[in-house]
Amino acid sequence: MNRTNVSFLAMFVVTVASALLALTMGCSTGSAGGNTAIAPSPVSLPENPRSVAVPAMPAPNASANNARDLANAQPESVLDSKTARDLDLNGGDTQAGQPLTYETLGAALQKLGLTPEDSKPFWELKVKATTDDKCDWTFPIDVSLSQDQSVVWIACMLCPIDKNGSPSAQALIDLLAANNKLATTTFALNPSHTLFLQQPIPNIGITPQVLGSNLKTFFTCLKQSEPLYKSFFGNTTSGQGGGNPFQ
């Protein structure tokens, strides 16, 4: 190999080595040094057939100290009913492991002594309760099936979230942290940025008793977590109270 070729090869090796070194330093600066911020990218998730259904029309939200809503709601004691029988399907006294359909879901709610409204794709209950701070709440509870009918969803729409104002970031952090202690009942936002509480039940062998027990648990979570979301509604309380029960 002549001197010219040797010189050219040496320059080529130095150039490639320099480029690799620069690339390595750039990567380490962005990750280890933390000097380069990672820009967020838009999130677009595919439709999940097991997720809670989204109503075509806006669902009613919870209200506090609203006389008209309270007059049209059932007392929370209706969720303590012990008289429900197993749902009669196909002439039998038990459900025999059959998944609920939309129609038999409504029938199961009626067996519990509830008066659900058919607001397809939801069966809607209006239940009222007075919380520890003497605030009278009306909670619209939606019971529905997922798109693939594998999950029964219980949900309650609470209030819209204003991303440019109230609530504070800390209030939303407290809600997210509470999910860890609410077990299968969790706070979430729907595509319209409405805060809601939700609970899934696998649609396998659900009797009215099983459904009623889950509704009672869900409603208990609604009442216990009221200090976390009541400030989103503004001045709703008529008495003293508050605090984060999950701290």
What pLDDT digit, counting tens, does each position of 142-199 carry?
999 999 899 999 999 999 887 666 678 888 889 889 998 998 899 998 888 889 999 9
Length of the chain: 247
SS3 assignment, position 110: helix
Instruction: Please answer whether residues 228 and 170 qualify as being in contact, where contact means their C-beta atoms are separated by less than 8 angstroms.
Output: no
With 0-12 / 13-18 / 19 or more C-beta atoms within 10 angstroms meaning exposed / middle / buried, residue 150 is middle
pLDDT at 139 exceeding the cut of 60: yes
More confident residue, 240 or 145: 145
For the record, the structure tokens of 133 come out as 């701070």
Cα distances from 106 to residues 34, 103, 181, in angstroms, run 55, 5, 30
Kindly report each contact of residues 31-35 with a partner whose C-beta sits within 8 Å and lies 24 or more positions away, as own/partner: none
- Going from N- to C-terminal start, the domains of the chain cover 63-233
pLDDT tier for residue 15 given thresholds of 50, 70 and 90: very low
User: Looking at the domain 63-233, which fold is it?
Assistant: Yope Regulator; Chain: A, (3.30.1460)
Proportion of the chain above pLDDT 70, given as a percent: 66
For the record, the structure tokens of 192 come out as 């319209």
Task: Give strand ranges (E) for the chain.
Answer: 63-64, 74-75, 117-119, 122-130, 136-145, 151-160, 186-189, 194-202
pLDDT at 105 exceeding the cut of 90: yes
- The CB density around residue 55, as the number of other CB atoms within 10 Å, is 18
Amino acid, res. 141: I
Backbone angles phi, psi at 239, to 5 degrees: -135, -170
pTM across the whole model? 0.74
Instruction: Please answer whether residues 172 and 246 qualify as being in contact, where contact means their C-beta atoms are separated by less than 8 angstroms.
Output: no
The answer, yes or no, to whether the previous bond of 202 is cis (omega within 30 of 0) is: no
Q: What pLDDT does 87 receive?
A: 43
Tell me the pLDDT tens digit for each residue of 31-76: 445 567 777 776 676 777 767 766 655 678 999 999 999 999 999 9
